[in-house]
């Protein structure tokens, strides 16, 4: 059974991006234990300033939030990255909606819940792309062929 894996990588070598940092996903096509680069999919840029204004928050120019908004400077968590809210999350997940799994350095709770609803597995790892693909394809091959995941020693 062929499937796709989306990976958050800045250099094509390492899984080094958090889900919120990904500007494009590297998509691999997998058949059995074999995989190959399929494409790179860009994530549409969200206009976070309109969402911030609509929610009564200050724009992400490091001003203080207004009207009880708790996002602070730069959006989510005050880390200046700006999450763009639920709209951006939905758009980003839609870009990889045909993938069996997503692999990033870290995927937040809200994104994990959305992936769960779409039956897309989430792998939080920090390693090379090759290492991640080798382990995940091994796992899915065993799972798809109803084999034990136990390693015989």
pLDDT, one tens digit per residue, over 94-123 is: 999 999 999 999 999 999 999 999 999 999
The answer to whether residue 131 scores a pLDDT higher than 80 is yes
Whole-prediction pTM: 0.74
Identify the weakest region by mean pLDDT among 32-36, 44-48, 54-58, 103-107.
54-58
Q: Domain 1-44+97-153: which CATH class? A: alpha beta
Q: What is the rounded distance in angstroms from the CA atom of residue 64 to the CA atom of residue 54?
A: 16
**Token pair for 120:** 């897309």
User: Does the pLDDT at position 16 exceed 70?
Assistant: yes
Q: What is the DSSP string of 11-41?
A: SSSB---BGGG-SEEEEEEEETTEEEEEEEE
Query: Bridge partners of 104?
Result: 124
Give the helix ranges, DSSP H, for the chain. Answer: 48-54, 85-95, 109-117, 129-144
User: Using an 8 Å Cβ cutoff, are 25 and 95 in contact?
Assistant: yes
Give me the count of residues in the chain.
153
The whole-angstrom separation of Cα 124 and Cα 141 is 20
d(CA 43, CA 48): 14
Residue 76 above 90 pLDDT?
no
Q: CA angle, corner 100, sides to 94 and 103, nearest 5?
A: 85
Domains of the chain by residue range: 1-44+97-153, 47-83
φ/ψ of residue 37, rounded to 5 = -65, 125
Angle, to 10 degrees, between the axis of helix 109-117 and the axis of helix 85-95? 50
């Amino acid at each position: 059974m062929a499937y796709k894996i989306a990976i958050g990588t800045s250099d094509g070598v390492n899984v080094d991006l958090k889900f919120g940092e990904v500007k494009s996903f590297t998509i691999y096509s997998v058949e059995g234990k074999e995989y190959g680069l399929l494409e790179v999919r860009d994530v549409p840029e969200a206009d976070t300033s309109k969402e911030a204004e609509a929610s009564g928050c200050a724009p992400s120019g490091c001003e203080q939030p207004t009207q009880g908004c708790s996002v602070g400077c730069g959006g989510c968590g005050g880390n200046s990255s700006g999450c763009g809210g639920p709209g951006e999350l939905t758009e980003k997940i839609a870009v990889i909606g045909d993938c069996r799994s997503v692999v990033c350095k870290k995927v937040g709770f809200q994104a994990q819940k959305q992936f769960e609803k779409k039956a897309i597995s989430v792998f939080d790892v920090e390693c090379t792309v090759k290492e991640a693909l080798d382990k995940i394809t091994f796992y899915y091959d065993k799972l798809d062929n109803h084999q034990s995941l136990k390693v015989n020693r």
